[in-house]
Structure 1
Amino acid sequence: MGPVLRARTLLLSLGLLLPLVLWLSLALGPVSLPLGDTLRVIPGLLGLVPDDPQLAQAALIVGQLRLPRALLGLAVGAVLALSGVAMQGLFRNPLADPGLIGVSSGAALGAAFAIVGGALLGGLPVALEPYLLSLCAFGGGLGVTALVYRLAHRSGQAEVSTMLLAGIALTALAGALIGLFTYLADDATLRMLTFWNLGSLGSASYGRLWPLLLVTGIVALWLPTRANALNALLLGESEARHLGFEVERLKRELVLCTALGVGAAVAAAGMIGFIGLVVPHLVRLLAGPDHRVVLPASALAGASLLLLADLVARLALQPAELPIGIVTALLGAPFFLYLLLRRRA
């Protein structure tokens, strides 16, 4: 099978897989719904047909609980996978991860500040708590990423190796500060912080969903326009410059895009690991290194994988719910070890 046919087959397969996984995520759960009923309530939720009284319970479960959760999982999975592609292209390393530039640890630090700081100050108004947490997490991710980029910037250029080292150092510093907040937290706050760090889609709502959908849409539309530049960057920075691409501008855009995407995802769903590492690498193994294929395929695969992980998290210990970060780690860690062994061989 030639590379073009292989790429088309992969995109078609992933394009068919995503609606199927979305359908299952809407139908299955502690209260499972018939697959046919799940499809029949969608037109009513969209206002295309009058509501069917016989499907009132199904419409309530799908419309208020499962649809915002599924859309949140779709957006988080897609944007994390796209950010992973951007970082692997920037560092020219298929084992790179969005967390290398500190955005994940910065977002976690911002969330810890909001959770523990609010408790230490005597609590915050209930109406402000979810928005303040998301805002602090998003701001923390952007702030740490901006600092990493500033430390790596010298003589008009951003040194990728310095960016990597600065990201590792600031990630360690953020981890220490999160440990300090953990030490200061009481039992109830500590439990909330712990569960947030494990990741979950359980807090999904339409109000918290739209900002993430907006950021995901921007990232998903913008990154493919830089596919040829990312392909050139694989050859090296000097080669990309000779081909006419503005390498320094591309670095800034990739870092900003990753900070926006991962910051918004972490702010909405907590810490969810391995999606940005595993999905792009797996797509490259199947379709090759061409970013014109890797970017859309990674977005589709990331969304499908996270929806599947959320389905496992909901069904494995029902009626209890397993944190989705545990599921993605259980899936991603063995695959990461496989990649390391394969690379060594």
Structure 2
Amino acid sequence: MRLSRTCDVVSGGAVSLTDTLVLDEDDDLGQVAQRRRTALWIGGLSAGLLVTVVLAVGIGAVGISPGTVGRIVGHHTLGSPDAITWTQAEDSIVWQVRLPRVLLGVVVGAALAVCGVALQAMVRNLLADPYLLGVTSGASTGAAAAILFGLGAGLGENALSASAFVGALAASAAVFVVARAGGRITSLRLLMAGVAVGYALYAATSFLIFASDSAEGARSVLFWLLGSLGLARWGLPLAIVVVVVTLTLAALLLWSRRLDALAIGDETARTLGVPPTRFRIQLLIVVSLCVGAVVAASGGIGFVGLVIPHVARRFVGAAHGRVVPVAALIGAIFLVWADVAARTVLEPRELPIGIITALVGAPFLLILVRRFHAAGA
């Protein structure tokens, strides 16, 4: 309901109190409409994610109907139905192989998407993604050392994930030290430090591959570098990734207004009471831990953190309180279907999932660059 104008505009063109109330109500109406639109997107994407999980679990060399998938999952989680109408092979395929893989795809896709959102705000660069800070390169170096030279062999089947995670944390620490030179962390310093550390660690990984005498190990490293969800199993590694990603998502939602301020500029952030350097350190720590955890579990998967934030902003606007949850849902759906394509396109062989995400992301990046050019950016 619009307020009517009941007093004149004062001399000099200033707006009266009632004019301000009209403008404020228009703004409130716009916010209500935006909130409804966001709620519709979140509700629709949540339903889409649930459908995606059920369908993706059933797709593969052995096709399993959505009804059977639902009954198997319900039997293991809720104890119903009591009567088993499916084979033992179907039970093993759904519960032991595909469901953990699909769930890992959900959390990894969500994590890469929201970390991309945070990094783009942190460095004020719309082409930033989790590769930017060198975290992925650090994880790759650690994983290569584990695969080729048995680093962390005492950890058994968790050696690869643990070595990758340690490498990611070491890379984050190096970026932090380099970017903090002079006592202040700025967008440009983070960008340059991340690129420098990333290239150095990429060279280190290449050297490890070259120095190894194991051709099979080198192939394993190269496959892992392009990403795969094939290592997903029930257990501690998957639980750790779920917890880390959940906490990261909660933190970014809590910090959404700070992200809005930082994305506008350091001066605006200071004006609004957000210390840019301190907040960038907090973001760097949270994002590095999250990216390190997911890369340790799935390898290097590109373009998700670059592409998905732009799609989310196009749907719900630029405010991070809306972008973060929508980006998480879109990223989860996208990566699950990318994994379905990776394991079925050349069946029975499996493609690295990074090839699929690159095939989708590279054309999108070209379109984005053309739009920037058209806008004079």
Shared fold, TM over 0.5:
yes
What CA distance in whole angstroms lies between the structure 2 residues aligned with 1:35 and 1:113? 41
- The structure 1 residue matched to 2:174, chosen from 147, 150, 154, is 147
Letter paired with 2:41? L
Q: CA deviation at 1:49?
A: 2.1
Could you report, residue by residue, the CA deviation over 1:237-256 in whole angstroms, capped at 9, with x for unpaired residues? Answer: 11111111232221111111
Letter paired with 2:57? L
Aligned residue in 2 for 1:114? 146
Retained in 1: the 8 A contact 2:100–2:232? yes
Aligned residue in 1 for 2:127? 95
The alignment partner of 1:234 has SS state of helix
Could you report, residue by residue, the CA deviation over 1:85-143 in whole angstroms, capped at 9, with x for unpaired residues? Answer: 1101101122111111111111111111111222xx8x946xx3431211111111111
In the alignment, structure 1 residue 78 sits paired with structure 2 residue 107: no
Retained in 2: the 8 A contact 1:30–1:315? yes
Q: CA deviation at 1:47?
A: 3.6
- The structure 1 residue matched to 2:76, chosen from 45, 60, 65, is 45
In the alignment, structure 1 residue 286 sits paired with structure 2 residue 315: yes
What CA distance in whole angstroms lies between the structure 2 residues aligned with 1:245 and 1:179? 41
Aligned residue in 2 for 1:333? 362
What CA distance in whole angstroms lies between the structure 2 residues aligned with 1:179 and 1:154? 28
Q: CA deviation at 1:214?
A: 1.2
Retained in 1: the 8 A contact 2:137–2:168? yes
Q: CA deviation at 1:171?
A: 1.0
Which of the two has higher C-alpha Rg?
A: 2
Give the number of the structure with larger relative contact order, counting CA–CA contacts within 8 Å between residues 6 or more apart: 1
Letter paired with 2:242? L
Retained in 1: the 8 A contact 2:71–2:80? no
Aligned residue in 2 for 1:344? 373
Q: How many residues align?
A: 340
What CA distance in whole angstroms lies between the structure 2 residues aligned with 1:297 and 1:266? 22
Letter paired with 2:233? S
Could you report, residue by residue, the CA deviation over 1:289-336 in whole angstroms, capped at 9, with x for unpaired residues? Answer: 000100000111111000010111122111222211111111111111
Normalised TM-score (structure 2) = 0.86
- The structure 1 residue matched to 2:241, chosen from 208, 212, 218, is 212
- The structure 2 residue matched to 1:159, chosen from 183, 186, 200, is 186
Map 1:263-342 to 2 at 5 A. 263-342=292-371
Letter paired with 1:83? C
What CA distance in whole angstroms lies between the structure 2 residues aligned with 1:21 and 1:265? 20
What CA distance in whole angstroms lies between the structure 1 residues aligned with 2:153 and 2:183? 43
Aligned residue in 2 for 1:28? 59
The alignment partner of 1:63 has SS state of helix
Retained in 2: the 8 A contact 1:95–1:281? no
Q: CA deviation at 1:206?
A: 1.0
Ranges in structure 2 where 5+ consecutive residues have no aligned partner: 1-29
Could you report, residue by residue, the CA deviation over 1:188-245 in whole angstroms, capped at 9, with x for unpaired residues? Answer: 1111111111211111111221111111111111110000001111221111111112
Aligned residue in 1 for 2:285? 256
